Amino acid sequence: MDLAIMGYGVVGSGVARLLARNNESIAARSMQPNMRLKYILDLREFPGDPFAPLVVHDVNLILDDPEIGIVAETMGGQHPAFEFVKACLERGKSVVTSNKELVATKGLELMQTAKAHNVNFLFEASVGGGIPIIRPLSQCLAANVISEVAGILNGTTNFILTKMFADGMPFDTALGLAQENGYAEKDPSADVDGHDACRKICILATLAFGRHVYPEQVRTEGVRGVATEDVLYAEHAGYNIKLIGRARRLEDGRVSAVVGPMLVPFDNLLANVNDVYNAIMIHGDAVEDVIFYGRGAGRFPTASAVVADMIDCAKHTQRRRFFDWETGGADYVAPAAQDVVSLYIRLRCGSPDETFAALRGLLPGAQKLSREGAQPHELALITPKMEEGAALAALRGRDVQSVMRLF
Ligand code: HSE
């Protein structure tokens, strides 16, 4: 059986190298002694690259070649990845992908296409880089009713936050380093503004709760607004700030799903996940909390998951490996403002003491925070648990600088 890779970037080149490096064990595990990489599709040339002879520019070479049984899509983005993947599935080729945007937006359609053509569509690499999470969530935890999935889902922003706050590195330098290491998306705003984490929580929520959650249904904030003052207040109160994706099953059958920077208590394992590492926590009624931890981005960690899916496809040429979920719906995700949460709030005001006294009437039990070097017209507080919309209404008209949820 022959293989093809579509997209020779960081992940695609990792897949080619890993297939070559672990050739014997991969052949043994896939029970396909003659598995070989035949084409690499990319618009660019790669002179001097060991895999340059395999590079082609026309997807039809892959589509029309009956010997190609498995295709790894590592191009990223929706288009033309969607058209290429769909065409591969329709031609009877199994596809594995690391493309979270594709799975989060078109996963249901592609899964249905795979079923209709009796081939596999697998996407272990789309969440958590090298961390096994898609199969554990869908298969190993299948006996559970899952009530929550949450975690640090973006390696680049976790790397940036760690470098900024542990090493004092400026934001742009930390982002540049993440790009050099091959962690960041082509368009770094996908990382920094939370869209990458949003796509991943959509995939996890979809698998955990059984209906498709779409990125536009998830309120998403990135890390650009996290200021040094926030970190100092958070640390003084016993929290780290992490970009968290969180999805919960609600009693009325809907789900809550958000992405944003959150204050995570020091004694929570997620608070101590640093650098490019990701960690994903799942709560099931039987298993309770389980946490998956590892490298969430980078060439070989992500290639590890892609190649594992290729091996799985090779082993399942007769039997299919389907993941099942249903379509979502406009009302399936509850408005974020209805979530019951505690908020961290920093605002500018004339007199912090007077402002806090006035706010405490509206937010009973609110806790005033302190930090070294606090400015005279600055107030930071933590609200009691209440509907987010009600807490924010209490602050209407105030000069609010920062709002983050407590995890
Ligand atoms: N840019 C992504 C991240 C790559 O930093 O997590 C892995 O999906």
Residue from 154, 187, 259, 275 to probe ligand 1 pocket by mutation (most atoms less than 8 Å from CB): 154
Q: Residue 345: which CATH number?
A: 3.30.70.3100
Tell me, yes or no, if 200 is annotated catalytic: yes
Ligand 1 center–CA 381 separation, angstroms? 32
DSSP readout, 309-351?
HHHHHHHTSSS------B---TTSBPPGGGSEE-EEEEEE-S-
CA separation (Å) from 305 to 18, 196, 293, 295? 11, 18, 14, 11
Which helix (H) or strand (E) segment holds residue 102: the answer is helix 100-116
Ligand 1 and 97: CB distance under 6 A: no
CA distance 405 to 103: 27
The answer, yes or no, to whether residue 383 has pLDDT greater than 90, is yes
Q: Which domain holds residue 259?
A: 134-295
- In the set 200, 315, 368, 385, the catalytic residue is 200
pLDDT tens digit string along 82-113? 999 999 999 999 999 999 999 999 999 999 99
- Nearest ligand 1 atom to the CA of 158 is 5
Ligand 1 and 356: CB distance under 6 A: no
Ligand 1 and 314: CB distance under 6 A: no
pLDDT at residue 328, as a whole number:
94
Q: Which residue type does 13 have? A: S
Ligand 1 and 185: CB distance under 6 A: yes
For residue 364, tell me if it sits in a domain: yes
DSSP readout, 159-192?
HHHHHHHHH---HHHHHHHHHHTT-S-SSTHHHH
Ligand 1 and 306: CB distance under 6 A: no
Ligand 1 and 98: CB distance under 6 A: no
For residue 63, tell me if it sits in a domain: yes
Asked if 152 and 283 sit in the same domain, the reply is yes
In the chain, the largest separation of any two C-alpha atoms, in whole Å, equals 76
The answer, yes or no, to whether residue 393 has pLDDT greater than 80, is yes
Asked if 211 and 111 sit in the same domain, the reply is no
Task: Give ∠ CA 90-91-97 in degrees, rounded to 5.
Answer: 70
Ligand 1 and 298: CB distance under 6 A: no
pLDDT at residue 167, as a whole number:
87
pLDDT tens digit string along 1-16? 999 999 999 999 999 9
Asked if 236 and 249 sit in the same domain, the reply is yes
- Nearest ligand 1 atom to the CA of 297 is 7
The answer, yes or no, to whether residue 321 has pLDDT greater than 80, is no
Residue 140 DSSP symbol: I
Asked if 141 and 280 sit in the same domain, the reply is yes
For residue 331, tell me if it sits in a domain: no
Which helix (H) or strand (E) segment holds residue 152: the answer is strand 146-152
**CB neighbours of residue 46 within 10 Å:** 15
pLDDT tens digit string along 275-308? 999 999 999 999 999 999 999 999 999 999 999 9
Ligand 1 center–CA 295 separation, angstroms? 10
CA distance 113 to 89: 7
Phi, psi for residue 177 in degrees, rounded to 5? -65, -40
Asked if 89 and 48 sit in the same domain, the reply is yes
Cis peptide before 80 (omega within 30 of 0): yes
For residue 327, tell me if it sits in a domain: no
Residue from 134, 186, 192, 196 to probe ligand 1 pocket by mutation (most atoms less than 8 Å from CB): 196
pLDDT tens digit string along 39-91? 999 999 999 999 999 999 999 999 999 999 999 999 999 999 999 999 999 99
Q: Which residue type does 64 have? A: D
pLDDT at residue 360, as a whole number:
95
Domain boundary among 282, 315, 348: 315
pLDDT at residue 319, as a whole number:
78
Asked if 145 and 273 sit in the same domain, the reply is yes
- Nearest ligand 1 atom to the CA of 126 is 8
Token pair of 149 as six digits? 């999935």
As a whole number, mean pLDDT of residues 359-384 equals 97
CA distance 160 to 226: 11
